Amino acid sequence: MLGRHGRARTLAQTPPRRIQSRHGQRQRIETRARRGRALENFMEQLDESVDGREIELTAGQEFELTLRENPSTGFRWRVTADGSPACVLVRDGFRAPNEGRPGQGGSHVWQFRAAQAGQGRIEMSYTRTAGEAARTFTLSVRVAG
């Protein structure tokens, strides 16, 4: 994203994003990035704490969603709604912890891009192959043009 004079805007020059709680109250969420880092290279890091909330993004902005997962138990996170048409799933994978002990859980990581103006809903379910969801995760996404 370029500023007025054709220079990349830094995160310090960009207002913090806002998310909305389940009860409709807007909350200010400070972003986690180093000062002076260009906004195009910055990716929001989201986790279980945003379950049931709404996030507002601008078109082209990317974010990463990380949820704890332990595939050795038979449970895995599955995407049941991918946020389209507002969002596009860019990457999907598992991140093992540094220790790497057998049977130890890790994190499932998805990378999304705000593709176009509009609204979408990302829904995940933590299930075994043939069973009911043990947990669910929902995130509403609003993308400004």
Q: What is the per-residue pLDDT across 43-79, written as a single tens digit (0 to 9) for each?
A: 889 999 999 999 999 999 999 999 999 988 999 999 9
Cβ–Cβ < 8 Å for 130, 46: no
Q: Compute the distance between CA of residue 46 and CA of residue 124 in angstroms, rounded to an integer.
A: 14
pLDDT tens by residue, 84-101 = 999 999 999 999 887 767
Q: What is the largest CA-CA distance in the chain?
A: 56
pLDDT exceeds 90 at position 10: no
The domain segmentation of the chain, as residue ranges, is 43-144
Q: Give the predicted TM-score (pTM) of the model.
A: 0.70
The position carrying tokens 């994190």 is 107
pLDDT of residue 42: 64
Q: Compute the distance between CA of residue 132 and CA of residue 122 in angstroms, rounded to an integer.
A: 19
The class of domain 43-144 in CATH terms is mainly beta
